[in-house]
Structure 1
Amino acid sequence: MPITISKEEARRLVVQSQQLFAKPSHNNALGTTLSAIEHLGYIQIDTISVVQRAHHHTLWNRNSDYNLLHIEELVAQKKVFEYWSHAAAFLPMKDYRYTLYRKKAFHMGHEKHWFKKDIQLMDNILKRIADEGPLMAKDFQHSQKVNEWGSKPAKQALENLYMQGDLMVAERKNFHKVYDLAERILPKGINTAIPTQQEYIRFLITNYLRANALGTASEIAYLLKKTKNLVAVELKEMLYKQEIVEVQVDNERYYVLNQLLNGIENEEAYDEVKILSPFDNLLIQRKRMKTLFDFDYQIECYTTEAKRKYGYFSLPILWKNQFAGRMDSKADHKTGILHINHLAFENHFSLSDAFTFAFDKTLKDFCRFNKCSSAHLHKTTPTSLKKAMKAIS
């Protein structure tokens, strides 16, 4: 029989496992950033830059001493690398071996990428990089013909070589990938043995539960093709062996690592506000957020302006273990102003002095993080709360 826990206890477990309110680390700042990446398992990369990009934003929320050069330094030190998680991401090098399972599937044609393979072009590109060293897509002569994705042949070939593991990203220049041969990027002595199917699936399970506390087969297999049934079978086996525990939250059942249940605290250990990236690891699965946190969140930058309710790039606001609202923002680096186009609070949320004080502190930190000296508030929902936000002009 599953263990019954309350929704509040479940939320506390999830937030603790995400290390959003973690105690100060004994590591130096760079070591703390690496530790966060290794714990979470991935940091999603996104190109939108109305505020600091998602990978920086996610790490800043877990490391008060985060520096925008940290990822670049960790890539150079071969402690972090780029590959595909559920989306483009930075991954810890210690987990490199587990990417080989998917890379082999791409190489063998068992898993398809967006682009058809042009084997001759791929071979030519590999030879050029082998002879000349790291190259970018723009270093190749492209034909004028583009496919339905608007991508040119050499770029498609580079992406196929990257997905099947022949190439890796050595660095980024102006956010553009610089590709090199995988064997020239990998650190010496790294384990390159392709995991068995069971090893890979167990890795997915333990990695997810460590970072997210609670998980279902669907959540663990999120956007990973052909894994859901395999995950479900392995979860049952791990439950039988008492490696994991089944818990029930309202009408939903989840799996939890045994040791994590001991982390349910009776008292709140933090009174902080977190302004999160839309691509933060905590809330990337929107259905999960609605079920566990009663937070119905969708990013609206991909919808037409007329259909937007909250704004182009609304940032979720986490207060303790609940979502208080969302903040649509844009950093204007010319004027040094963080424009808060819309600050919207959830219907159930009651503004308090404690929240206002914590939000004031976090907003000032967020301004500095975005290289802004002040914030300007344009709109609130409900409108009556605008006067309460004294921190914002």
Structure 2
Amino acid sequence: MLTIEDLQSITLERQGLRYDASFGSGKDAVYQSLEQLGYLQIDTLSVVERAHHHTLWTRIPDYETSYLDELLEERQIFEYWFHAASYLPMQDFRFALPQMLEVRDNDSHYYNADSKVMRYIIDTIRAEGPKRARDFETQAKKSGSWWNWKPAKIALERLFLQGDLMISRREGMQKTYDLPERVLPEAIDLTIPTPREFASYLVKTYLNAYGWTTLKQILHLKTGETIRNDVRDVLSDLLEEGIIESIHIKGYPPVFVRYDLLGATAGISTPEIRLLSPFDNAIIHRDRVKQFFDFDYRIECYTPKEKRLYGYFCLPILFGNTFIGRVDCKAHRKQKQFEIIHLHLENQLIEFESWAKPFAERIKQFVLFNGCTSLKVSQVSPSNKTTKLRKLLEGLF
């Protein structure tokens, strides 16, 4: 009988968090990790290194931020929407088509773009080649222009969401748009999946990424009886074929576990410290993490300052299978100083000596990854650990 600890270990192994370099090294490891994780959330917040880079750095010790841009230009990955703006493996492109069609056919739920501006943007890119958003911003500011920047920005986003434009390259957060026929590989499958095929894609994506899943996770942000029924049917077929097994643990929702992973539940002999992005694939399904890891995590950057419990941009701290706390931090890039604004230690059952030095080493690596050369520790809770940790951490540089 599987235990909660077994389920934790399975997920962390599939997520590439049990061992360093689980996916290998270099750019190949970036593609391997994206293929297994299913998607990689893109985020614009830069309090520390942006989420898509942070998530990969956590799994790939020699990760470089240029790798994603290169894979995008090589047409191995593409940008679209999973539950949020994401990078996805190009092989999964056809499963983005239903949402593109939904956007195209439904004006009431998406950007209400000016059709004249949309036609102008498409015609300009077709005639002149790939364009950045700023190219249209410049055009809108010309004397006598019949449109301004805001309608163009809305039109670009609408054209992207409905699949009439794709992002062909990036320079940081600056996107370049082009026509799909000039971006997609020649052999790409453009067959629109049936609802049942799409349900199968969702189920298998989660099973591949986590090793096991729940009905709630598969249906995250998905509505309607059709998708719910199709997902249930796919799970039923996989159970009948012996590919998955349904596990019931008292006090927890039913979980569906890949049969081939049932024996891969050995404990971690040397626990590793991981500093996770708030948008990391392993932490993004908050209910799952709360239920199965006993860690109640919410990002508070969207919460009014007076209502925050932990800080603006806290990173979960994972030690082995256990979340031992969270750290609110900020990279002051101009000063090249990394600040630990508030380190919250929450699991007092784990001995300080067992995690403190590995934590310090991981912090040092993260400071360097963020382009900083010094470290400041402002606050630690509980306060009785402040002196030891400040000495240990600030002594790294």
Q: TM-score, normalised by structure 1?
A: 0.91
Structure 2: how far apart are the matches of 1:250 and 1:283?
23
Moved more, 39-48 or 193-202: 193-202
From 155, 168, 171, the equivalent of 2:169 is 171
Matched residues, number: 382
Report deviation, 1:278: 0.3
Structure 2: how far apart are the matches of 1:336 and 1:247?
49
Q: Which residue of structure 2 lines up, in the alignment, with residue 98 of structure 1?
A: 95
Change (3 A) 1:49 1:133: same
Report deviation, 1:222: 1.4
User: Is residue 2:233 matched to residue 1:237?
Assistant: no
Moved more, 355-364 or 60-69: 355-364
Report deviation, 1:219: 0.5
For residues 361-380 of structure 1, the aligned pairs below 5 Å read 361-380=361-380
8 Å Cα contact 1:10/1:249 also seen in 2: no
User: Is residue 2:83 matched to residue 1:86?
Assistant: yes
User: Is residue 2:216 matched to residue 1:218?
Assistant: yes
Q: Which residue of structure 2 lines up, in the alignment, with residue 147 of structure 1?
A: none
Structure 1: how far apart are the matches of 2:349 and 2:300?
22
Report deviation, 1:225: 4.1
Q: Which amino acid aligns with 1:82?
A: E
Moved more, 16-25 or 253-262: 16-25
Q: Which residue of structure 2 lines up, in the alignment, with residue 126 of structure 1?
A: 122
Structure 2: how far apart are the matches of 1:381 and 1:198?
50
From 28, 47, 54, the equivalent of 1:57 is 54
Per-residue deviation, residues 142-183 of structure 1 (Å, max 9, x unmatched)? 59xxxxxxx822222211211111110112245122111011
Secondary structure in 2 matching 1:327: strand
Structure 2: how far apart are the matches of 1:169 and 1:381?
44
For residues 173-322 of structure 1, the aligned pairs below 5 Å read 173-226=171-224, 227-251=227-251, 252-265=253-266, 267-322=267-322
Report deviation, 1:378: 0.7
Q: Which amino acid aligns with 2:15?
A: Q
From 9, 17, 29, the equivalent of 2:26 is 29
From 118, 122, 133, the equivalent of 1:137 is 133
Structure 1: how far apart are the matches of 2:12 and 2:336?
32
Structure 1: how far apart are the matches of 2:121 and 2:307?
44
From 87, 110, 113, the equivalent of 1:114 is 110
Q: Which residue of structure 1 lines up, in the alignment, with residue 386 of structure 2?
A: 386
Unmatched segments (≥5 aa) in structure 1: 144-150
User: Is residue 2:347 matched to residue 1:343?
Assistant: no
Report deviation, 1:379: 0.7
Report deviation, 1:283: 0.6
Report deviation, 1:137: 2.6
Q: Which residue of structure 2 lines up, in the alignment, with residue 148 of structure 1?
A: none
Higher relative contact order (CA 8 A, sep 6+): 1
Q: Which residue of structure 1 lines up, in the alignment, with residue 74 of structure 2?
A: 77
Structure 2: how far apart are the matches of 1:190 and 1:20?
31
8 Å Cα contact 2:25/2:61 also seen in 1: no
Structure 2: how far apart are the matches of 1:117 and 1:241?
47
Per-residue deviation, residues 115-134 of structure 1 (Å, max 9, x unmatched)? 12543332222111111111
Report deviation, 1:112: 6.1
8 Å Cα contact 2:103/2:110 also seen in 1: no
Report deviation, 1:189: 1.4
Q: Which amino acid aligns with 1:254?
A: V
Report deviation, 1:25: 5.9
Report deviation, 1:28: 4.7
Work out the percentage of aligned pairs sharing the same amino acid.
39
Q: CA RMSD in A?
A: 2.1
8 Å Cα contact 2:113/2:151 also seen in 1: no
Structure 1: how far apart are the matches of 2:298 and 2:186?
43
Report deviation, 1:329: 0.5
8 Å Cα contact 1:271/1:320 also seen in 2: yes
Secondary structure in 2 matching 1:391: helix
8 Å Cα contact 2:310/2:344 also seen in 1: yes
Q: Which amino acid aligns with 1:264?
A: T
Moved more, 199-208 or 243-252: 243-252
8 Å Cα contact 1:245/1:256 also seen in 2: yes
8 Å Cα contact 1:142/1:153 also seen in 2: no
Structure 1: how far apart are the matches of 2:174 and 2:250?
46
Q: TM-score, normalised by structure 2?
A: 0.90
User: Is residue 2:7 matched to residue 1:10?
Assistant: yes
Structure 2: how far apart are the matches of 1:26 and 1:272?
16
8 Å Cα contact 2:214/2:256 also seen in 1: yes
8 Å Cα contact 1:218/1:228 also seen in 2: no
Report deviation, 1:113: 4.6
Structure 2: how far apart are the matches of 1:80 and 1:176?
17
